[in-house]
Amino acid sequence: MYNIMTPGPTKVRENVRMARSLETTNPDLDESFYEDYRAVCKQISRLMHTKNETYLLSGEGILGLEAACASLTEQRDRVLIIDNGIFGKGFKEFVELYGGKPVVYTCDYHTPVNEKELETYLEKDHDFVYATLVHCDTPSGVLNDLSALCPLLKKYGILTVVDSVAGMFGEVVNVDQSQIDILCGGSQKVLSAPAGMTFVTVSDDAKKRMRYRTQPIASFYCNLQNFEGYYEKKWFPYTMPISDIYGVKVALENVEQDKNIIKRHQKIARATREAIKEAGLQLYLKDGYASTVTVFYVPDGMLDTEIIEYMKKNYNILIAGCFDALAGKVLRIGHMGENANQKDVADTLYALSKTLNALGYRLPCDMKESFKKHLNES
């Protein structure tokens, strides 16, 4: 198996793997499971600093994004798609699928969404039911400022759907302060549980919106309203994947016990960027770097695939290329969750240095040494 230094899925710690192998009960009929489920949901709400209720859904991160759109969109609703990255733009399709009218607000992919510019735009047009926004857009690694953008949207009466799948737990998220209506997360990024679970925190405003819809939600699996009152009713819309939830529970405990988690992500990300720059490679972003992933251009005259393959074959380390508009253009090192540790990142940068040298790109420095030097500075 490769050492997976990708921006998710990440490595899974042994205690999480063991939790997934525990004996199970009937999660529909055994009332004790409703207690366990609710405790996990509450733990997520606590970590996200919110009084809002959390639901865990059985499906990978994309399910949460689609469920948020399915549950909020009515026919011909205008929805603002804030697009400064590939995942950001991707929300358009979900809105269309459920009959909404997406209005795409596209900005520079190399920097975070500018609050002032968005405000200028909203002054002229703010007739939107909700807006979608990505916290950390993983293909470019850009980090948007939820604490500035979401309250601004709310000021205009616009609900917010935020994809923090690749941000939460590695970046600060404060749902209540930022007034986020639906926050979406996934199990396989910073949380470092296997892929397969998504979670959403849902505000009272979002719940009201769902309750007072005039048309039914055009989905069963993506219908967040189906989860309302599950605890009182002792009823889930479908049988919950109990082993996945046991895994998520322990992964959350790992995160909660790791008091330094955000600082460590910042420190590792900063040192990684410095090493990349000192090696003469070019970062994709101008500013607004997330702490969970580092994205840099493939050096001129080289192929992303040859670099990735060489690292796999000779160093057993897997880094990621990209897709869509950035396919073939950039490489990505994920340093999130279990991967955000000095040894793995140093090994990755060592392997990358050796690989680039072997493929004919002369590095002015050893990226591993440079990484270590910058780690000690901060």
Ligand X SMILES: *Cc1c(COP(=O)(O)O)cnc(C)c1O
Interface residues toward ligand X, by CB under 6 A:
8, 60-62, 87, 134, 137-138, 163, 165-166, 186, 189
Burial of 20 (0-12, 13-18, 19+ CB in 10 A): buried
Ordered DSSP codes for 260-304 = THHHHHHHHHHHHHHHHHHTT--BS-SS-B-SSEEEEEPPTT--H
Residue 310 CB, nearest distance to ligand X (Å)? 25
Between 171 and 344, CB nearer to ligand X: 171
CA distance 291 to 333: 11
Q: Which is nearer to ligand X, 149 or 166 (CB)?
A: 166
Residue 155 Cβ, how far from ligand X at the closest point, in Å?
Answer: 25
We find the least distance from the C-beta atom of residue 135 to ligand X, in angstroms, to be: 7
Nearest residue (CB) to ligand X, 48 versus 367: 48
What is the nearest approach in angstroms of ligand X to the Cβ of residue 196?
A: 11
Output 3 or 140, the one with its CB closest to ligand X. 140
Provide the 8-state DSSP code for 190. Answer: T
Minimum CB distance to ligand X, residue 94 (Å): 12
What is the H or E stretch that residue 92 is in? helix 86-97
Write the CB contacts of 257 (distance below 8 Å, at least 6 apart in sequence). none
Backbone φ and ψ for 2, nearest 5 degrees, come out as -80, 155
Minimal distance, residue 211 CB to ligand X, in Å: 27
Assess whether the previous peptide bond of 9 is cis (omega < 30° from 0): yes
Distance (Å, whole) CA 85 – CA 89: 6
Shortest Å distance, C-beta 125 to ligand X:
26
Determine contact, residues 223/67, Cβ cutoff 8 Å. Answer: yes
Using DSSP's 3-state secondary structure scheme, residue 376 falls into helix
Q: Which is nearer to ligand X, 28 or 96 (CB)?
A: 96
Nearer to ligand X, 61 or 102 (CB): 61
Residues with Cβ within 8 Å of residue 293, at least 6 apart in sequence: 7, 136, 138, 141, 166, 332, 333, 334, 335, 336
**Separation CA 373–CA 281 (nearest Å):** 18
Which lies closer to ligand X via its Cβ, residue 71 or residue 292? 292
Find the shortest distance in angstroms from Cβ 189 to ligand X.
6
Nearer to ligand X by C-beta: 281 or 295?
Answer: 295
